[in-house]
Amino acid sequence: EFRFRHGYCKSNPRKMVKTWAEKEMRNLRRLHAAGIPSPEPILLKNHILVMQFIGANGWPAPRLKDAHLSDRRLAECYWHCVRYMRRMFQVCKLVHGDLSEYNMLYLNDDAADHCGLYFIDVSQSVEHDHPHAAEFLRKDCANVNAFFGRGGRLRPMSTRQLYEFVVDDALLEEEEEARLTAIQREVETDYDGSAQLETRAVDEAVFMSTFLPRSLSE
């Protein structure tokens, strides 16, 4: 792992992996407690983490990248993903840190009480007050929007809109759906005309390069 590149436990790599497995188990438990679909952690022994198998009939669920979704399913997964990102930040107090189509699974299960999207690989997730949490979250938002907006099959919100929806502490839980509905209407009008698309691209580039203060002093 990049943050251990200087050898956190160079002489004992198993101890390093044990620490990483412990962190993943803690984070998965927090996701499960918040109702975010993810593999349920079952047992941690030394450096080995046993977790729930996500799949059907012995076949693992594909990564979102490899799932063939209809336009309706794609939109459904996007808006669920947005909700899960906010819940992960507001309830779990975590930022995934590496969220993309590679770290989400899709299981087409009509019996499930959600769209079939699962978050995985939360060993690198950080607390919401981590020094780089805002930077990691902004990148997560950009990755998610880039995947779902690819090919023009779906109109995602802007990276800034997604970021602000996730971090808005003043937004009450019962107000979330109304806010998402308003954002969807706004997104539809934003895509009306190439000039607006160019403006949005510039706004995205500015937001991705803007310094995000974490405290009043900053």
98 as an active site residue: the answer is yes
How many whole angstroms separate alpha carbon 109 and alpha carbon 159? 30
Q: Scanning the structure block, which residue is given the tokens 């759906």?
A: 177
Reduce the DSSP state of residue 94 to 3 states and report it: strand
- Of 98, 109, 168, 203, catalytic: 98
* DSSP codes joined into one string, 27-73: HHHHHHHTT---PPEEEEETTEEEE---EETTEEPPBGGG----HHH
How many whole angstroms separate alpha carbon 93 and alpha carbon 89? 5
- Of 109, 110, 121, 168, catalytic: 121
Angle of the 194-209 helix axis to the 159-167 helix axis, nearest 10: 50
71 as an active site residue: the answer is no
Q: Which residues are catalytic?
A: 98, 121
